[in-house]
Amino acid sequence: MSSVSEPGRSLEQRQVALEAALARERRVSRALREVGSALGTTLDLDDLLELILGRLTELVEADRATLYLLDEVGGELVSRVIVGQKVRSIRIKVGRGIAGVVAQTGAPIRVRDAYEDPRFEREWDALTGYRTTSMLAAPLKNHLGRTIGVLQVLNKQTAAEFGEEDEAMVTALCTQAAVAIDNSRLFMSLIQKNKELLDTKEQLERRLRDLVFLFDLERAMARAVTIDALAAAALGLATTTCEARAAAMLLVTEETGQLVEYVYDPSRPEQVERIGVREGEGLLAAALGEPEALEVTDPQRHPSFSPRVEGAFPFPVDSALLIELEGDRAPLGAIGLFSKMGPRRFDQDDRSLLRLIAANVSTAVRLQRASEARERSERLMTIGRLLSQVIHDFKTPMTVISGYVQLMQDADDRERRTAYAEEVLRQFDVLTSMQREVLEFARGERTIFVRRTYLKKFFADVRHTLELELVGKPIELVMDIDAKAVGRFDEQRMARALQNLSRNAIEAMTDGGGRLTVRAGREGDEIVMSVSDTGRGIPKEIEGRLFQSFVSAGKKGGTGLGLAIVKKIVDEHGGTVTVHSSSRGATFEIRLPQPSVEEVRRGESPSSRALGMPSTTPPSAEPTPAVSTGKSGLPLAEAAVRGAAEGEGSGRPAAGRGRPGPNRASTRGPSVKSST
């Protein structure tokens, strides 16, 4: 019997052992399936690691399990445990303690009694009140074979220590845990990268919107030529971009310091309302002195709320976003948005946009004011130069008038006094003509009286005037005139042009002396006149802009209008004026186109053709003789006075013979009159 029963018991033991092994394998297989399934369906690392630790504790029949992750930056293993009611973080240096050695070597360690192993650190047992006996620690390695953590199980419940099978199961689940940690880290990294990309995309889109907005703002404000237009452009764009129901801008006037508020209503975009406000009145006044944007969520309860200003909007103001306009030394004013459309409030994007608007508007207002100040200064300077030219040119006729008045006091003969009075009136005509000429030049008007003129007679008057100018100066006068030539031009205007050119030539040779040459004649269908000097020539820095207004070579008393008036007179005749300059002197040449016989019969002139308008021909076909100059049997003093007078009025009609009054030019263009 005993021989039979012994093999039976052996078979039963083997069967029990096999069944236990089978059950264990089933548990291992089920745990691996659950972990594998969780890897494919769960992205929460904490839940997954908790599942792995729970299944591992059951499989190896341990009391508890701990997972450490490697912090490569600090060189530490990090885990969390619950001590009492608090979650404590466990940090172990790599190479210290059993888990630290496993992380350092990458090999698993089994310990039967932890307190007998010198590598074991008892501090955490003392802190938690736990008694560690057996231990099994295995490394977590990723797909590259790098250790990323340590998995540790404590206190085998069914045996004194963990065996090889336990080590194999822990190693297998360590692989699963490492895969889960790697996947989680990759997933979190992907999420983080996507978030960064989205943030970058939003920032780029916001910056692009800001750039487009700034471009639109700059373009809108660049077209503005007044503060009102600038306010309309800036406020209109602000209401559209920030979706506000209205906008306003408060400015401190530069001259008086008064406050003016510009109110923009999108329902009436064609106009900006101007409101004069008192200091401290209105919500915009509250933004003065504030370093940041001011948001008012209940405007009607704000102490600066004004029923006259904010209460004038065609809607109840329920919110306002305001910001100061910065100036150089003091605030320029403030700009604000009122009542966001819809149920929303103004947000951070609105603040950023309003800050951009305020910066650009501040710059634009400063530039606009600087431009206006510069224009005022230039206008005053221009007026001063014009007055200087007028006063300078008035000296000669006023001197002549004074001389004739003195002669009238000493004259007993009525006929002589009448002649003196005629000469005085003649000088007043000169003054009137000069005044009209300067005004026409300033206004851009053109009025010429074209008639037939004998060059011999015309230049005889010019010669007499120049001789008086040259008295006492070391300058030789040379006249080369075609005595048979006849031209058609305005004698008075051309005499003025030649006088300006000659005066410049004389001033160029005053110091060292020289020769003044005046030539005139006909070349084909043109009358050619030239004035030459032997001075130092024209400075290079002004040669290219010689005929512009107020360009002068720095001569004393010069205003820079003389040559500009010359060019204007020549242009009125449809002619050209050119200059040739060198170190040996300068030559100014005037060319006046002359009409053909057929054009004279039709009453046309080259000047009217050049200016694109018809000319007017008076009924009289007879030339009006110019007043002859010279002594005419008068006393020497009278002749000198008369000569000085004729220096300004060469070629003018004789006093008392239809002395022309001032011609009022049309603003539509030049007025050209001709006479045969």
Q: What is the pLDDT of residues 70-89, one digit of tens each?
A: 888 888 988 865 545 555 67
| pLDDT value at 602 more than 70 | no
In this prediction, residue 359 has a pLDDT band, given cuts at 50, 70 and 90, of confident
Q: Out of 312-321, 541-550, 638-647, 651-660, pick the least confident.
A: 651-660
pLDDT (tens digit per residue) in 53-70: 787 788 788 888 888 888
pLDDT at 612 over 70: no
Mean pLDDT throughout 107-124?
89
Region of 420 please: left (phi>0), alpha (psi -120 to 50) or beta: alpha
The pTM (predicted TM-score) of the whole model is: 0.43
> Three-state DSSP class for 578?
strand
- pLDDT exceeds cutoff 50 at 118: yes
Q: In terms of pLDDT, which residue wins out, 325 or 20?
A: 325
Weakest mean pLDDT among 65-74, 193-202, 366-375, 593-602: 593-602
Secondary element (H or E) of residue 218: helix 164-222
Q: What is the pLDDT of residues 277-296, one digit of tens each?
A: 888 888 888 888 888 888 88
Give just the sign of the alpha carbon dihedral 147, 148, 150, 151: negative
d(Cα 35, Cα 48) in Å, to the nearest integer? 8
For residue 419 the two structure tokens come to 């002649």
Q: Does position 620 have pLDDT exceeding 50, yes or no?
A: no
Beta-bridged to residue 477, according to DSSP, are 516
Q: Name which residue leads in pLDDT, 204 or 597.
A: 204
Instruction: Check whether 275 has a pLDDT greater than 90.
Output: no
Q: What is the pLDDT of residues 493-503, one digit of tens each?
A: 899 899 889 98
φ and ψ at 672, to 5 degrees?
Answer: -120, 120
155 versus 129: which is more confidently predicted? 155
pLDDT above 90 coverage of the chain, percent: 15
Please say if the pLDDT value at position 588 is more than 90: yes
Residue 466 CB contacts under 8 Å (≥ 6 apart), including other chains: 477, 502, 516, 518
**Region 438-444 average pLDDT:** 65
Residue 555: pLDDT band by 50, 70, 90 thresholds? low
* pLDDT value, residue 477: 94
Compute and round to an integer the Cα radius of gyration of the chain: 53
Average pLDDT over residues 406-416: 84
- Res. 630 pLDDT band, cuts 50 70 90: very low
Band of pLDDT at residue 137, cut at 50, 70 and 90: very high
Average per-residue pLDDT for the chain: 78
Residue 16: CB atoms within 10 A of its CB come to 10
- Sorted by sequence, the CB contacts under 8 Å of residue 346 that are 6+ apart come out as 242, 244, 295, 319, 321, 337, 340
Q: CA-based angle 99:103:107, to the nearest 5?
A: 95
Using DSSP, state whether 1 is helix, strand or coil.
coil
Question: Is pLDDT above 70 for 640?
Answer: no
